[in-house]
Amino acid sequence: MIITVLLGSPNKKGSTSILVDEFKRGAEESGHTVEILDVCHMIINPCIGCVKCGYEGPCVQKDDTEIVKSKLLTSDMVVFATPLYYYGMSAQLKTVIDRFCAYNSSLNSRHLKSALLSVAWNSDDWTFDALEAHYKTLVRYINFEDKGMVLGRGCGTPSMTLRSRYPKKAYELGKGL
């Protein structure tokens, strides 16, 4: 299986990256190919709502969205990886997802598998409610097949994350594919 990870953390050595690295290690050990797209360090502009794409491209904006599109349309799975920012995904990852509209039908017809990896400082049981609802709605709308979520509560720093159970959970999610 070809897996594309959309890494939506601007912190290259942060807690989200720890989960991504462990997921990748597990998936590769199971024979899958994993590519990480660091969307925070790509040039991806917000959707301007012009609808000139007709919801099936091409987009009038010429940026790195074409790279994301190309990878997703040749993948079997997409993994959304983000720190929790004010109870949602990072703005950088949300911008990438908003641009899905320019190739919505093609993406929908791929029936990709998907997963969510996220971390948060907060450890309350409701911490991920909004992000989880958004992810589940996205899965339903784009006809993805959810393969799981690793929601790392109490992972405010890399050292906190490394001491938690969540890197192992990310590894096991990848390994179990």
Q: Summarize pLDDT for 4-52 with one digit per residue, the tens.
A: 999 999 999 999 999 999 999 999 999 999 999 999 999 999 999 998 8
pLDDT at 73 over 80: yes
Query: What is the pTM assigned to this prediction?
Result: 0.97
Task: Residue 56: give its domain's CATH number.
Answer: 3.40.50.360
Q: Which domain holds residue 33?
A: 2-175
How many Cα atoms within 13 Å fall on the side-chain side of residue 96? Answer: 29
* Domain total in the chain: 1
Over range 139-160, report the average pLDDT.
97
